[in-house]
Structures are given as C-alpha cells and as structure tokens.
C-alpha cells in the first residue's frame, strides 16, 4: 500500500521526441522505505525522464521517480570506484569527480541524465571504440524487486540478474545504488579539432580511423537537401585531452530539458525551408570558431547542453530519431540502399551524426557491437515514417540494429528481427518476474 506521505500526482507524460503521450501516476519518494512501498505493486522507475521514447513512464501502473536519491555514498581512488545512489545525475557526479581528479569512462551527452537511466539503457558516449558501453564499467548494483527483496548484483553474486538489469529498461525492478568504475581525469580541458569532410562515405571511414587515435570523436553530416549531392558536407569532430590549467573545474548547470516544458505548445521552426540554413550556419560556425579550440571537458561531453532549443524546433508534432548500428563490412551495402531511399522518399533530415563502435555484440537488447552508429533525426510526419519503415527493412537485410531507447516508432516485429536475443531477453524477464510487475510504455510497444 502506498503510504499517505507520498503524493501521487497525475501528470502528462510526454517523451522527449513527443511520439509517446499519456497520463501517468507519478510518485517521488525521498526515503528508502518509501521506495519499497511505492513499488509494492511494481510499476516503472524513472530517472530524469530524458529518454527520447516512453521508457521512463507508464499509464498502467505507478511511475516512480528516483531523482531524490542522488547522494555519493563512497569514493575509493585505490580501487578506482565510486558508489552512488541511482538518481544522481551525470553532471553532479562529474562535478564531484573532477575535483578529485577522476571521471567516468563513458558518458552520454546531457548532464541531467541519471545513473539509473545510464545502467538501464546501457548507454554509450563519444568513445565507444575505446571504452565500450556504460554497463561495462558497472562493478556492482543494488536492486529492489517486490518479489525478490534487495539484491546485490555483481560478477560474483547474482551475475545473471546484473546482466539482465544492465540494458534491462527498468524491467527487473528499481536500481537503488551502483558501484561504478572511475578513471584518472585525462585533463579538464580538451583540444577540439573540427575538419571538413566531403562525403558520407569518407566520414564513416574517417570517424572509424580517428576513433582509435583520438580521445573522443564523432561525425556530423548535412543531408537537409537529400537530392542535391553538392550540398552534402560533413564535419569530423575530434577531442584530445590537454593538461592546460582549468579556471573553473565545476561548471554550473541546470536541467533545461525538464519534462514540464514539454507541455507547452510549440511552433515548428524546422522545415525543408529553414533546415538548410540552420545546418549551413552550424557548419560555418563549427569550422570557423571552434576549429582547434580549447574547451572544457563538460562542454565536449555534453554537447546538447545549451542547445536544448533544438528539441523544441520540431514543434508539437516532435521528431523521430533512428540510430542504427551498421555492422563492420556492411557499410557500403547500407549506404547504397540508403541513397536509393533518399532519392525515392526525399525525407526532411534535420540532423545526421556518426560514431564508431568496437567490441563484441551486446547481450539481450543492448545497443553495442562493432561497426558504425549512424543517426538521423526527422520531423515526425507521414513521409518520415514511410522512409524509416523502409530503412527498418534495410537494417534487417544488412544485419543492422536500431537503438530502441531512441526510436519512438519502431515496432516489436522489427526489433525481434534485428536483435537475435529479443526472445531470450523476454524469456529471462518472464522467468525472473513471472507476474511481470514492471513495465513502461516502451516495453508495451515492443511487446516485452
């Protein structure tokens, strides 16, 4: 039973991409015992609710926010670990660690993202080819599930539950705390290098090479005029650590992507008419103002910070992102099919980015392996959906997989065909929790 001290607030839950909207009973406990009571009948845990899709809320059970649990519990530089509560944000932990001369080896691109969200999504950063996914650096976690109680999960204890919880989309229960690996800080500032690249094929190649040589690397490409090949131009962005002195080691920041802001009505700014100029300006500024600039590590790690208006530029209809891991060796087959689709559908593509991945294929539904991670963002409309439905088929044909935490419209059928361990994941969750007490709008769409 939910204790009277915990308010249940009926909220409009809207995913960041705006493709999933529902009402949700939100609970925000701030005492450990209230967390257990909040989850007495299951539900779903959420962190900052910054997932593009409806992963962190449900309208069939309770949505329980863990953001009040944001303490650093222990720091052991000799062991190279930090213990934290799962609701702590990356930005808060960054501020603590940088002062100790340490950092997390893998970080996704926004400071308000929670550690619970990083574990449950098994997220990646801009250095996958070197450091892999977030889950590879989780030494231990504490999980609570009403049927199993508190479980300490590590390689030596409940290893199967650890594996199922990392990338498990919150379906194994609530992560209360975690012991994470930390590494000595490579430098508080990075030297940011930006180079022009003339084709997407070259960008794939150069991102792959540079990811092994640079500390962090990604590619950006302009596809706003799909049929006009001469407008297709990209940027290779690389960062090298530097030991140059930092004036301030702990930048001040605040979450500018709060879920409440998603309720405001927004006009659509991004369109076929405006996007070419937006992209041309971005490219010009990147090449001319930051070609070889010294920037704070915070700004490089979290590039979306300060650019939040991007997410609102798509208006009320929102956007759809497809992030695809193209296996090594399949890039040219993928790209030739991609160019044909571009000719046929002429989609309006707002943003295209490229990262290089290296390592073994992930277990269950984790988005990891060796290849090129290729991301496109499109305004949500019928033409984009048709284009992406055709891309789903290409992904299946070439053995690529879409990141399920990013794509707000991919179907259970496509995920089943892209992820060989889809059935194994579902069976493992069913075995762990036969009553299936945890679920989200995402898990419902994907029939998990």
Ligand X SMILES: Cc1cc2nc3c(=O)[nH]c(=O)nc-3n(C[C@H](O)[C@H](O)[C@H](O)COP(=O)(O)OP(=O)(O)OC[C@H]3O[C@@H](n4cnc5c(N)ncnc54)[C@H](O)[C@@H]3O)c2cc1C
Cβ closest to ligand X, residue 47 vs residue 408: 47
Work out how close the CB of 446 gets to ligand X at its nearest, in angstroms, rounded to a whole number.
11
Question: Which residues in 296-335 contact ligand X (CB under 6 A)?
Answer: 304
User: Shortest approach of ligand X to residue 227 CB, angstroms?
Assistant: 30
DSSP for 263-311 reads: GS------STTTHHHHHHHHHHHHHHHSTEEEEEHHHHH-TTTT-THHH
Which residue among 170, 187, 234, 369 contacts ligand X (CB under 6 A)?
A: 170
For ligand X, the closer CB: 112 or 335: 112
Closest CA to 371 of 342, 338, 400: 400
DSSP for 317-333, please give it: T-EEEEEEEEETT-HHH
Considering the complex, state which of residue 93 and residue 174 has its C-beta at the smaller distance from ligand X. 174
What CA–CA distance (Å, rounded) separates 100 from 185? 9
**Does residue 401 touch ligand X according to CB under 6 A?**
no
Q: Is residue 114 a contact residue for ligand X (CB under 6 A)?
A: yes
Question: Does 16 help bind ligand X (rule: CB under 6 A)?
Answer: yes
The 10 Å CB-count burial string (b at 16+, else e) for 184-223 is: ebbbbbbbbbbbebeebeebbbbbbebbeebbbbbbbbbb
The contacts of residue 385 (CB under 8 Å, 6+ apart) are 320, 409
Residue from 14, 20, 35, 50 that binds ligand X (CB under 6 A)? 50
Give the number of C-alpha atoms closer than 13 A to the C-alpha of residue 282, restricted to the C-beta side: 19
Tell me: does residue 44 bind ligand X (CB under 6 A).
yes
Contacting residue, 13, 27, 46, 348, with ligand X by CB under 6 A: 46
* Strand order through the sheet with 371-379: 292-296, 189-197, 234-242, 216-221, 351-357, 371-379, 319-327, 401-402
Q: Which of residues 256-285 bind ligand X (CB under 6 A)?
A: 257
Among 24, 25, 29, 49, binds ligand X (CB under 6 A): 49
Residue pair 377/406 in contact by the 8 Å Cβ criterion: no
Q: Which is nearer to ligand X, 116 or 132 (CB)?
A: 116
123 touches ligand X (CB under 6 A):
yes
Q: Which of 29, 42, 54, 56 binds ligand X (CB under 6 A)?
A: 56
- With CB under 6 A as the contact rule, the residue among 6, 26, 35, 45 that binds ligand X is 45
Window of 29-37, 117-125, 149-157, 346-354 that interacts with ligand X by CB under 6 A: 117-125
The answer to whether the CB of 22 falls within 8 A of the CB of 263 is no
Task: Return d(Cα 364, Cα 361) in angstroms, integer.
Answer: 9
Residue in 13, 14, 48, 378 binding ligand X, rule: CB under 6 A: 48
The residues of the shown chain that bind ligand X, judged by CB under 6 A, are 16, 44-51, 55-56, 66, 86, 108-110, 113-114, 116-117, 120-121, 123-125, 169-170, 174-175, 257, 304, 405, 440
């Amino acid at each position: 039973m939910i204790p009277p001290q915990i308010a249940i607030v009926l909220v409009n839950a809207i995913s960041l991409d705006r493709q999933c909207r529902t009402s949700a009973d939100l609970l925000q406990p701030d005492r450990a015992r209230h967390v257990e009571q909040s989850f007495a009948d299951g539900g779903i845990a959420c962190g900052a609710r910054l997932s593009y899709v409806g992963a962190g809320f449900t309208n069939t059970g309770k949505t329980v926010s863990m953001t009040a649990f944001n303490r650093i519990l222990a720091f052991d530089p000799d062991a190279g670990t930090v213990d934290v509560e799962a609701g702590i944000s990356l930005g808060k932990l960054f501020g603590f660690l940088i002062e100790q001369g340490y950092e997390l080896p893998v970080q996704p691109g926004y400071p308000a993202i929670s550690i619970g969200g990083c574990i449950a999504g098994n997220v990646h950063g801009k250095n996958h080819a070197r450091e892999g996914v977030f889950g590879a650096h989780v030494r231990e976690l504490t999980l609570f599930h009403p049927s199993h109680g508190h479980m300490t999960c590590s390689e030596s204890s409940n290893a199967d539950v650890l594996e199922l919880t990392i990338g498990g989309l919150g379906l194994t229960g609530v992560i209360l705390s975690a012991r994470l690996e930390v590494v000595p800080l490579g430098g508080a500032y990075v030297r940011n290098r930006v180079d022009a690249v003339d084709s997407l094929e070259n960008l794939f190649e150069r991102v792959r090479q540079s990811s092994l040589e640079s500390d962090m690397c990604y590619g950006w490409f302009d596809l706003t005029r799909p049929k006009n090949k001469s407008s297709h131009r990209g940027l290779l962005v690389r960062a090298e650590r530097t030991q140059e002195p930092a004036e301030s080691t702990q930048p001040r920041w605040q979450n500018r992507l709060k879920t409440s802001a998603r309720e405001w009505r927004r006009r659509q700014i991004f369109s076929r008419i405006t996007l070419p100029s937006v992209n041309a300006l971005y490219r010009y500024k990147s090449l001319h103002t930051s070609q070889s600039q010294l920037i704070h590590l915070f700004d490089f790690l979290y590039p979306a910070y300060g650019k939040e208006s991007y997410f609102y530029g798509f208006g009320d209809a929102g956007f759809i992102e497809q992030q695809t891991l193209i296996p090594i060796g399949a890039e040219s087959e993928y790209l030739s099919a991609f160019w044909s689709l571009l000719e046929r559908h002429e989609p309006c593509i707002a943003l295209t980015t490229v990262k290089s991945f290296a390592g073994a294929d992930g277990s269950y539904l984790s988005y990891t392996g060796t290849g090129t991670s290729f991301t496109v963002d499109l305004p949500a409309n019928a033409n984009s959906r048709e284009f992406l439905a055709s891309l789903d088929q290409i992904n299946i044909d070439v053995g690529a997989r879409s990141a399920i935490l990013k794509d707000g419209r991919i179907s259970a059928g496509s995920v089943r065909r892209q992820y060989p361990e889809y059935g194994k994941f579902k069976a493992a969750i069913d075995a762990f929790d036969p009553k299936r007490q945890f679920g989200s709008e995402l898990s419902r769409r994907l029939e998990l």
